[in-house]
Amino acid sequence: MREREFAFSDADFQRIRRLIYEHAGISLHTGKRDMVYSRVARRLRVTGLDSFAEYLDRLEVQSEEWQHFVNALTTNLTSFFREAHHFPILQEHALETHRRERRGLRIWSAGCSTGEEPYSIAITLMEAFGDRQPPVRILATDLDTQVVRHAEEGIYPAERVARMPEAQVKRYFLRGKGGMKGLVRVKPQVRELVTFKPFNLLGSEWPLKEPFDAIFCRNVLIYFDKPTQYRLLARFHPQLRPDGLLFVGHSESLAHAADLFRLRGKTVCVPVPRS
């Protein structure tokens, strides 16, 4: 086995697990040790430090390094129209809600990563309403400030949209030319539907004013232990309208929060009425 650039003790790993859990609620499995070494070692190189212990000592007193630390340990795997069965359900729900209540809709993509999810939501609703300006506003948030900046730009390698129908790509994306060849950019009318913000779901306050018609929190809960998942779901509950929908990932179960949400369909939940 190739010798590591930096010594990495079990105490270093356990300290990183404790710090990321305390700061962001992320529960790192013991099998993630090599991944943790690889990602945090990059910060040692950037900061010019020689040991994990020295880096972690500085981290605990230097607040500006926290975001880099969190960004390094956050995985951002996503794609356009991932878990595709969710989008027809969203479309039906949006149209029925608007027909019944004649008001604008609010959607939250909580854990938006590099933006493919909220842009997929926007495209779905533009097509549902047959309108470039559908009656919807989308809030997209993520803990990782770097991916939020990337998402706001809306620029992606062309292969990211290769599985989408070509007519849909032409309608909602601009293909790059010259130095931008091989890239696509989400059209302005799609980007205008989405507001991106950095957001820590485990933060002490959620500055959210009105309830949402749907919340997408897909493949986010898997980073937290069961007690933290429950606390998070308890905070989502009042943020949803009584007939709102919570979309979760294919590997996420809400069985331990049956008093808060019940399953309506495949990985789609509705809030249990408040007593």
**Residues marked as catalytic:** 39, 142
Q: With contact defined as beta carbons under 8 Å apart, do 24 and 70 qualify?
A: yes
Burial of 76 (0-12, 13-18, 19+ CB in 10 A): middle
Backbone phi, then psi, for 268, in 5-degree steps? -125, 125
Indicate the length of the chain as a whole number.
Answer: 275
> CA 221 to CA 274: how far, in whole Å?
23
Q: With contact defined as beta carbons under 8 Å apart, do 188 and 218 qualify?
A: no
Q: How many helices (H) and strands (E) does the chain have?
A: 10, 10
Query: Nearest 5 degrees, angle CA 191-CA 266-CA 232?
Result: 65
Number of C-beta neighbours around residue 221 at 10 A = 23
Number of C-beta neighbours around residue 198 at 10 A = 14
Q: With contact defined as beta carbons under 8 Å apart, do 111 and 141 qualify?
A: yes
Q: How far is CA 176 from CA 4, 173, 269, in A?
A: 41, 9, 39
